[in-house]
């Protein structure tokens, strides 16, 4: 009996140490193989009581999810969500940890706020977060909302709105500025977290590892949707430019601080005849869509059109329509094998996950269609889909109201 009690006491001490140490390995994250797959759709994290959300009618909520590059050993992941209301509304980036007892459950009490910034209006929250190959965390921040950027935030480098941000979450308290950030150490009052600026509402971005390019879908005001390849220190024009065109309002624009030159035009744009709200995607690097290999697959949230963009960094981009869907498309995601999925944005009764399938009708000529996958999961206003990078065949979906669910991606 004494040995049993002593063993239990030591186990409790080990558990407490794991909870206190952000670098402690989670269960099955010790190099002995990936964690066990869930046998059903499970709630991984529920922070809906902390999240200000309006799924189905607005842009508030849990909007982004990213797993630390060393998630397999440190169990850390990050979420981006809106909190508060009225004049106290903020966008918040927080660190969480997986439970020390269950690899398919997070510890909701482990939240550590990394970054907060005020949101003057309830739209244009953007919300994508992702780690780059440099292990820094990139954060998409919208221009603060309303319409026309009435506060000229996107061109104002003294605040974080209308920007792509880049921070080091493994150093500093609560983070550090990467030394090669474009405004690191400046004496002009510019926020050092800024990686790029002049964006309106960057809705979904992704990295293409073979090329190192950062692809961003930036939602337009009234006329143009755009796809940008974002580089350090560059100004992507809003609210002086909408797409590759001068912006003249309404309302609020153009900015009073428009540069005479130096803004970067998108690599692709499309007008209102094709859609009304771009959803950024991924450069396809999977095995099944051979005809789309190396092309940037993206969609329009409103029209449901899905395209594949060809761009080599030298020649003008070309674009082809793959599928004309009949539903709203909120986001794309990839699994550990780079298979590409897209999310049908709807309440749980109608929400679905899909993949694109190709048929070669004649040599070199293909048609495309959508097929529902993972029917056991009916996403409720899901806005992000991520894999944890730990070797497991799990997928995690962030739902706008404040939940993250986990499921097995080997049963399509």
Distance between CA atoms of residues 137 and 393, nearest Å? 23
The residue ranges of every structural domain in the chain are: 23-408
Q: Which residue has the higher pLDDT, 257 or 5?
A: 257
Q: How many helices and strands (H and E) does the chain possess? A: 2, 26
Distance between CA atoms of residues 254 and 392, nearest Å? 48
Summarised one tens digit per residue, pLDDT across range 101-149 is 999 999 999 999 999 999 999 999 999 999 999 999 999 999 999 999 9
- pLDDT classification of 38: cutoffs 50, 70, 90: confident
- Is the domain defined by 23-408 classed in CATH 2.60.40.10? no
Pairing of strands 62-67, 76-83: antiparallel
- pLDDT classification of 253: cutoffs 50, 70, 90: low
pTM of the predicted protein model: 0.92
Angle CA(249)–CA(254)–CA(256) in degrees, nearest 5?
A: 150
365 CB-contact burial (10 Å; exposed 0-12 / middle 13-18 / buried 19+) = exposed
Summarised one tens digit per residue, pLDDT across range 6-29 is 443 333 334 444 444 444 545 554
Please state whether the peptide bond connecting residue 62 to the residue before it is cis, i.e. omega within 30 degrees of 0.
no
Structure tokens at 399: 């739902």
């Amino acid at each position: 009996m004494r040995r049993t009690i002593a063993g239990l006491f030591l186990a409790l001490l080990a558990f407490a140490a794991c909870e206190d140490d952000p670098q402690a390995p989670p269960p099955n994250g010790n190099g002995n193989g990936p964690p066990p797959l869930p046998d059903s759709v499970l709630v991984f994290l529920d922070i809906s009581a902390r999240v200000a959300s309006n799924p189905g009618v607005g842009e508030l909520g849990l909007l982004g999810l990213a797993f630390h590059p060393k998630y397999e050993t440190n169990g850390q992941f990050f979420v981006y969500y809106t909190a508060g209301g009225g004049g106290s509304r903020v966008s918040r980036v927080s660190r969480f940890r997986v439970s020390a007892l269950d690899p398919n459950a997070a510890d909701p009490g482990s939240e550590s706020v990394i970054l907060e910034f005020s949101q003057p209006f309830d739209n244009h929250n953007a919300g994508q977060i992702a780690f780059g190959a440099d292990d820094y965390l990139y954060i998409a921040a919208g221009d603060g909302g309303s319409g026309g950027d009435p506060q000229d935030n996107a061109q104002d480098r003294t605040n974080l709105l209308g920007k792509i941000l880049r921070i080091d979450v493994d150093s500093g308290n609560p983070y550090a500025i990467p030394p090669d950030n474009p405004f690191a150490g400046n004496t002009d009052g510019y926020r050092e977290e800024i990686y790029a600026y002049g964006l309106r509402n960057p809705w979904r971005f992704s990295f293409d590892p073979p090329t190192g390019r950062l692809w961003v879908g930036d939602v337009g005001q009234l006329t143009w949707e755009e796809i940008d390849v974002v580089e350090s220190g560059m100004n992507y024009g809003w609210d002086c430019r909408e797409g590759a065109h001068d912006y003249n309002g309404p309302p609020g624009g153009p900015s009073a601080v428009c540069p005479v030159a130096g803004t970067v035009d998108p690599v692709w744009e499309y007008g209102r005849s094709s859609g009304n709200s771009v959803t950024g995607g991924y450069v396809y690097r999977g095995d099944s869509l051979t005809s789309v290999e190396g092309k940037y697959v993206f969609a329009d949230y409103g029209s449901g059109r899905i395209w594949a963009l060809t761009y080599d960094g030298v020649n003008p981009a070309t674009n082809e329509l793959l599928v004309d869907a009949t539903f709203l498309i909120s986001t794309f995601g990839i699994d550990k094998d780079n298979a590409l999925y897209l999310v049908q944005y709807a309440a749980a009764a109608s929400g679905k996950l899909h993949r694109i399938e190709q048929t070669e009708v004649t040599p070199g000529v293909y048609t495309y269609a959508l097929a529902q996958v993972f029917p056991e999961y009916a996403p409720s206003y899901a806005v992000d889909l991520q894999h944890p990078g730990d070797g497991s065949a799990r997928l995690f979906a962030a739902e706008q109201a404040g939940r993250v669910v986990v499921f097995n991606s080997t049963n399509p």
